[in-house]
């Protein structure tokens, strides 16, 4: 897997630009520690899980986003292709899909 440009880092977490963006802004937020899927999020202590969610919001704010979508694909049938827990932060004109 090719790594995207780093945009922000915090203790235990990193955000990168997606190398194949599906929106005008497409960032990936990942924990540095390996957890395969959101299904296994209980592997994180409550405090760390909370920091992880706050970091997702910080990434969006640091990117200057006010209106955006956060997506987690869980499992291959749901579109997960990289089996390391990550959030997609998408923004831009006319995001397709859910309304």
Q: Catalytic: which of 6, 26, 34, 86?
A: 86
**16 conformational bin, left if phi > 0, alpha if psi -120 to 50, beta if neither:** beta
What sign does the dihedral 15-52-43-79 (CA atoms) show? negative
Residue 86 a catalytic site member: yes
Give the pLDDT mean for 10-19: 94
- For the chain, the average pLDDT equals 91
**Entry pTM:** 0.89
- Distance (Å, rounded) from C-alpha 88 to C-alpha 17? 10
6-91 belongs to CATH 3.40.50.150: no
Tokens 């859910």 belong to 98
- pLDDT greater than 80 at residue 51: yes
Cβ–Cβ < 8 Å for 19, 2? yes
- Distance (Å, rounded) from C-alpha 38 to C-alpha 72? 7
């Amino acid at each position: 897997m090719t790594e995207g440009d780093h945009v922000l880092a915090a203790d235990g977490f990193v955000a990168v630009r997606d190398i194949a963006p599906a929106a005008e802004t497409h960032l990936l937020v990942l924990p540095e520690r390996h957890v395969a899927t959101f299904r296994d999020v209980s592997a994180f202590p409550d405090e760390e899980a909370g920091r992880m969610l706050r970091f997702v919001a910080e990434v969006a704010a640091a990117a200057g986003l006010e209106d955006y979508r956060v997506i987690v694909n869980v499992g291959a049938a749901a579109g997960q292709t990289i089996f390391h827990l990550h959030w997609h932060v998408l923004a831009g004109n006319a995001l397709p899909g859910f309304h």
